[in-house]
Structure 1
Amino acid sequence: MKPTSVLISGGGIAGLTLAILLKRMGWEPTVVERNDAPSAEGYMMDFFGSGWDVAERMGLIGDLNAVHYPIKRIEFVRGDGRPYMTVPIERISRALSHRYVYLRRSDLERILFNRVRNKGVAVRFGTTIDTLTDRADGIAATFSDGTQGEFALVIGADGIHSRVRDLVFGSQRSFMRYLGYYVAAFHFPDSHHDLGNAVKIHEETDRTAMFYPLGAMRADATYLFRYPDVGHVPAGDRMALLRKVFAGAGWIIERVLDEQPGAAPVFFDSATQVAMPDWYAGRVALIGDACGCLTLLAGQGSHMAMAGAYVLAQELERAATHQEAFAAYQRFLKPHVEKRQRDAAWFSKYFVPSERSRPWLRRLAVDAIFSSLGIGLMMGQFGGKSVLANYK
């Protein structure tokens, strides 16, 4: 089909990747993002597999490799901070043929945003979509700042709480599958916690804390815990909830929370999947978490967001109509997403220790999974092979 204007709702990984790819193909994308600036929140993640494949095709590997954190190993630690198991990062990287980096989600968004800006793509921060009206030859949109626009297509890349999905497909609750966890992530000064060069993981019944060194004086924390589905937790209530849930926790877990200022920004969300029968309607399509959220438990959300953007862009370039492109995109990618969602739902039962867990047995299992032999099998199960390997 002939390249023309496209409105992309969401300036995260999926939306920015799509904007870059479509701009390269001659389209005129406009990105609207509800936040006032590129996100600085998020969590540390492994980047490999499908995400690496797309980044390589986009010429971003140099930017990814330029991100350096002093992380040499992963340590599972006891309540006194002493490790009972150590995994060299090199072992994980080697299992993935060194197509692997450790970076923060906001690092990837920054790399993509810099490319978007260099390409001259319009990004409107602090803006959301109010209404969408599907017309015979396009879609009319009104925005939260009072402006209007007309576009040939609209793509919802606006995450698990997608505004586009609500407007076009209906209430979000009907597509949600809660897996029983909440996750929180934030920065903290690491002047006296002695993380060294290791990611440190401490597990207790129904709750886990992970600490990542970012440099001599900075660190990231990720807190994961089982909890009833209470929906959205306002920013001002998040730290209080974390302190309540992790009261009495071992090692430095409580101390790090107590040291956080009340107004410090905290990434906070539920581990909730999005499962939809169809990812498109008329001139509107969804990508990334908006239609197929895997959750943090799958460890592949950013990878599949980039893969979805890549497949959609390719299909728009080669199809005669947007209907054909949307159908081909869904036909290829949806089975891959559904498999990963099933895997994550199964894995969620074991991701954090439960009252039925036997610590000695869990430690044996973790040791086997992260052994030189087990790590390759695990990474293969959790996205080590790109979904684009057989994509034509």
Structure 2
Amino acid sequence: MPLNHAIIIGGGIAGAASALALTKCNDMTCSVFEIRSEPATIGGAINLTPNALRYLEYLGVLSRLKPKGCEVRFIDIISHRTGQSLGKLNFDNLPKFKHRAIRVVRNDLLQCMLETLREAGVEVQYGMRIDSVEEREQKIAATFENGTRIEGDILLGCDGVHSAIRRKFIQPDRIAEYTGVATAYGLLDATRLDNPVRIESSSLFSGQHGSAILSYTNLEKSRLFFAAAMAAEDLGSKEGWVLRGHDQEVLKEDLLRRFSSPAVPFLAEIIGITEHLTLYPVHRLSPNGVWSSGRVLLLGDAAHAMPPQGESAGFALEDAILLSRILEHHQSKSIAELFDRYEQLRRPRINAAVKEANLRFETIRDRGWLTTIIVEWMTWAFLSWTASRKEQEFAYDVRDLDLKF
């Protein structure tokens, strides 16, 4: 039986990507529902790898997004202790990758995706909280708290790390866990700085008390993104984290204690003049969880949230495009067979990414000076050792996979 209609829960990057991919590849109609009252504006700025840019080009989004971001030829990894480079994460291979990376404000990415989706005839419906899901007669129906009920062929849970679809209908005991690391981030006008910022476009500073990233987010290199990842005790609730984040003076004092350094003097000035810093706890999901049940499938962070490593948006795009291609080429198969094939092709890459992300995050802890020096040496060795593999990863394209059963 052909699949004609997808219900998508979540109007963020994963949900918008899924709707774009399904309408493009399968000529399916998509109904997208978001619990928030409007598009999310949180999330700072993200790095989009060459893979992600190729997928966005395929979905028709890149042409309107690219002028909004800053091209990144490489991310320079720098010792916070000495100010010296420990190595680079290199994206500068146009013949192989087709694109370099770009750093862009997350909200700009989402708005460009939603504009493209609107042109395809799909409007996200906001303020929609899922209440129940029911399967019968080769269909699935979703009912929302406001009484709205809609029927489709499949339902995609694209509603993030704290997914209601996962917790209510797939695997209730798989709850997002706090990593022990929190991130503080903000945007500022780089023209206000007195100290010159010694970065090409994007640099990560690895230190004794955490890591900080600086990156331009526009073509003119006038808008600067600052983010710090650091060990922090669990405050136990969303309200507790919001309250801690509201005390900007205390937050800035903590950041200055961690990241003030004569080797990188501009960091202290950046922290001082950033008008508002957002604080949030980093959560992840346990690996190898359940992704599907019946006609319901999880995509993006709802399925495989991991500590940020600059590729989460790209993974969500890959999820959506791989699923759309499987559905496009194998409509005669059952839903169970389609979802099983998706997982067979997807899990190896996701499992490898989760392992690497967790390993990287273990280095973001307060540590002694000797351990810091050892970690710096290990960082240099790790970047050198993995350079060839990372090049292969940036050239990877989910559209090249063999979809045969």
- TM-score under structure 2 normalisation? 0.81
- Contact between 1:212 and 1:221, CA under 8 Å: does it hold in 2? yes
Q: Aligned with 2:2: secondary structure?
A: coil
Q: 2:299 aligns with which of 263, 280, 287?
A: 287
Q: 2:336 aligns with which of 323, 327, 334?
A: 323
Matches within 5 A, 1:111-190: 111-171=112-172, 174-190=174-190
* Deviation for aligned residue 1:60: 4.0
* Deviation for aligned residue 1:73: 6.5
Could you say what the CA RMSD is over the residues aligned between the two structures, in angstroms?
3.3
- Contact between 1:212 and 1:219, CA under 8 Å: does it hold in 2? yes
Q: Which runs of 5+ in 1 are unaligned?
A: none
Residue number in structure 1 paired with 2:224? 219
* Deviation for aligned residue 1:276: 4.5
* Deviation for aligned residue 1:121: 0.6
* Deviation for aligned residue 1:210: 1.6
* Deviation for aligned residue 1:79: 6.4
Residue number in structure 1 paired with 2:388? 377
Residue number in structure 1 paired with 2:257? 248
* Deviation for aligned residue 1:212: 2.0
Q: Distance in 1 between matches of 2:362 and 2:17?
A: 32
Task: Give a deviation string over 1:53-76, Cα, whole Å, max 9, x none.
Answer: 433433444345434427676555
Aligned residue type for 1:224: A
Whether 1:195 and 2:208 are equivalent positions in the alignment is no
CA pair 345-107 structure 1, distance change in 2 beyond 3 A? same
Q: Distance in 1 between matches of 2:376 and 2:208?
A: 14
Q: Aligned with 2:32: secondary structure?
A: strand
Q: Aligned with 1:296: secondary structure?
A: coil
Say which is worse superposed, 248-257 or 2-11, in terms of deviation.
248-257
Residue number in structure 2 paired with 1:210? 213
Q: Distance in 1 between matches of 2:381 and 2:56?
A: 31
Say which is worse superposed, 109-118 or 38-47, in terms of deviation.
38-47
Residue number in structure 2 paired with 1:342? 355
* Deviation for aligned residue 1:16: 0.8
Task: Give a deviation string over 1:295-335, Cα, whole Å, max 9, x none.
Answer: 203x3211211111112112223232322211211121122
Q: Aligned with 2:257: secondary structure?
A: coil
Residue number in structure 2 paired with 1:100? 100
Residue number in structure 1 paired with 2:34? 33
- Contact between 2:74 and 2:91, CA under 8 Å: does it hold in 1? no
Number of residue pairs aligned between Structure 1 and Structure 2: 384
* Deviation for aligned residue 1:155: 0.7
* Deviation for aligned residue 1:285: 0.9
Residue number in structure 2 paired with 1:85? 85
Aligned-residue sequence identity (percent) comes to 19
* Deviation for aligned residue 1:195: 2.8
- Contact between 1:74 and 1:86, CA under 8 Å: does it hold in 2? no
* Deviation for aligned residue 1:374: 5.7
Residue number in structure 1 paired with 2:244? 237
- Contact between 1:276 and 1:291, CA under 8 Å: does it hold in 2? no
Q: Distance in 2 between matches of 1:125 and 1:286?
A: 20
CA pair 65-333 structure 1, distance change in 2 beyond 3 A? same
Say which is worse superposed, 99-108 or 336-345, in terms of deviation.
99-108
Say which is worse superposed, 336-345 or 114-123, in terms of deviation.
336-345
- Contact between 1:300 and 1:382, CA under 8 Å: does it hold in 2? no
- Contact between 1:76 and 1:83, CA under 8 Å: does it hold in 2? no
Aligned residue type for 1:269: P
* Deviation for aligned residue 1:253: 4.9
- TM-score under structure 1 normalisation? 0.83
Aligned residue type for 1:195: V
- Contact between 1:179 and 1:273, CA under 8 Å: does it hold in 2? no
- Contact between 2:70 and 2:221, CA under 8 Å: does it hold in 1? no
